[in-house]
């Protein structure tokens, strides 16, 4: 039905992609994308990783022909998203996590069938495919339940299945596992990976806030912040970009007199605060000890400025470390500069 993928063109290509939104009443406009260059090859699982407001969803909306860019160029499967929107639409699928979409009056199965019809999938192909997707998402027992009777997570799963009924060439998953329980999220991650592997030249562009998800699923990752791509590489290469050394996590007592500034000076490298543990009255302090650095020296320096260390752990470089190194802050400490 649809033309076979032309493997010579990348699945997604953007050049200098920009988008701004008018600011609220007189305020300056919000720049969501400030010149993004991406090149995603056929057959890749590609991740966009970035803090809230980085511009990930905006980028996906533009690639899905929902939103015009303010500048630059974007192509999906070789077609321009502005001038050749209809060609793009034949080849894409979209799943947005964390929303409550669906025709409440239809059953799960009917809703999926209907969308398959919107994509011109013959019913004889659509029904077995739908049954398989219901199985994968664990919705088989709910197949004949009306959508307005589903829980949020169940709707989410149906929405996920909807993205696959047309077997799109390029699939956009915007935080697909948001709001799902741990087991469901893991099953669906595995399903996406096998879906891509079993088919030739299918591409997935994924955004997520879960580092492990990005690490496990993506062939390549672009780290975005404030509308710019800061780095783009394989997870392994991103990890490697944080040269050697040791990652240290200290559990320190809260309420010490020392500030981040003096702590940083004492340790001699940038530090990041992690989650507090109110039940123990402590908080996690993370930093990367450079190669050749001696942990004992750092601990002594901290003791001198009155930081009480209650626990120590060290580990290998993770994707999160790379993220912190590149973005300058952790994914979860929102707005921290």
Supply the minimum distance, in Å, between the C-beta of residue 23 and Mg ion.
19
- Interacting residue with another protein among 68, 236, 303, 314 (CB under 8 A): 68
Nearer to another protein, 60 or 319 (CB): 60
Q: Which of 14, 5, 101, 100 is nearest to 56 (CA)?
A: 14
Angle at which helices 123-136 and 182-198 cross, to 10°: 140
Nearer to another protein, 2 or 9 (CB): 2
Q: Does 64 bind another protein (CB under 8 A)?
A: yes
Q: Does 162 bind another protein (CB under 8 A)?
A: yes
- Give the integer Cα–Cα distance in Å for 99 and 250: 38
Instruction: State which of positions 18-57 bind Mg ion (CB under 5 A).
Output: 57
Cβ burial of 200 (10 Å; 0-12, 13-18, 19+) is exposed
Q: Does 30 bind another protein (CB under 8 A)?
A: no
Q: Tokens 């010149």 identify what position?
A: 35
Q: Does 67 bind another protein (CB under 8 A)?
A: yes
- Interacting residue with another protein among 102, 176, 179, 235 (CB under 8 A): 102
Angle at which helices 123-136 and 108-118 cross, to 10°: 130
Q: Does 150 bind another protein (CB under 8 A)?
A: no
- Interacting residue with ligand ATP among 11, 12, 17, 32 (CB under 6 A): 32
Q: Which does 73 bind (CB under 5 to 8 A by kind): Mg ion, another protein, ligand ATP, none?
A: none
Alpha helices in the chain (DSSP H): 56-63, 85-89, 108-118, 123-136, 152-164, 182-198, 211-217, 235-241, 260-267, 295-304, 319-327
Other C-beta atoms lying within 10 Å of the C-beta of residue 176: 27
Consecutive H or E run containing 95: strand 92-96
- Interacting residue with another protein among 52, 100, 151, 241 (CB under 8 A): 100
User: Residues interacting with another protein, by CB under 8 A?
Assistant: 21, 61, 64-68, 86, 89-90, 92, 94, 96, 99-106, 110, 114-115, 117-120, 162, 166
């Amino acid at each position: 039905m649809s033309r076979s993928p032309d493997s010579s063109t990348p699945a997604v290509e953007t050049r200098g992609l920009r988008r701004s939104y008018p600011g609220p009443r007189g305020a300056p406009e919000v720049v969501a994308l400030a010149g993004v260059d991406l090149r995603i090859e056929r057959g890749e699982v590609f991740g966009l990783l970035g803090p809230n407001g980085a511009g990930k969803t905006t980028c996906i909306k533009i690639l899905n022909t929902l939103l015009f860019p303010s500048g630059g160029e974007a192509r999906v499967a070789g077609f321009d998203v502005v001038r050749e929107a209809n060609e793009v639409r034949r080849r894409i699928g979209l799943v947005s996590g964390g929303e409550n979409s669906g025709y409440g009056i239809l059953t799960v199965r009917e809703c999926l069938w209907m969308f398959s019809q919107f994509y011109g999938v013959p019913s004889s192909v659509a029904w077995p495919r739908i049954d398989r997707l219901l199985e994968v998402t664990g919705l088989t027992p709910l197949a004949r339940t009306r959508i307005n009777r589903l829980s949020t997570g169940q709707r989410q799963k149906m929405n996920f299945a909807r993205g696959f009924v047309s077997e799109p060439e390029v699939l956009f998953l915007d935080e697909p596992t948001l709001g799902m329980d741990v087991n469901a999220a893991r099953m669906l991650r595995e399903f996406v990976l096998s879906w891509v592997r079993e088919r030739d030249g299918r591409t997935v562009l994924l955004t997520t806030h879960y580092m492990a998800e990005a690490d496990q699923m993506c062939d390549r990752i672009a780290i975005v912040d404030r509308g710019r791509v800061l780095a783009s590489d394989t997870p392994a290469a991103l990890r490697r970009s944080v040269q050697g050394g040791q990652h240290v996590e200290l559990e320190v007592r809260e309420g010490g007199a020392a500030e981040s500034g003096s702590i940083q000076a004492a340790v001699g490298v940038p530090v990041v605060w992690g989650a507090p543990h109110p039940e123990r009255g402590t908080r996690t302090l993370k930093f990367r000890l450079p190669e050749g650095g001696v942990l004992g020296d750092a601990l002594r320096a901290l003791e001198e400025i009155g930081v009480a260390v209650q626990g120590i752990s060290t580990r290998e470089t993770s994707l999160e470390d790379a993220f912190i190194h590149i973005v300058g802050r952790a994914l979860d400490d929102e707005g921290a500069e």
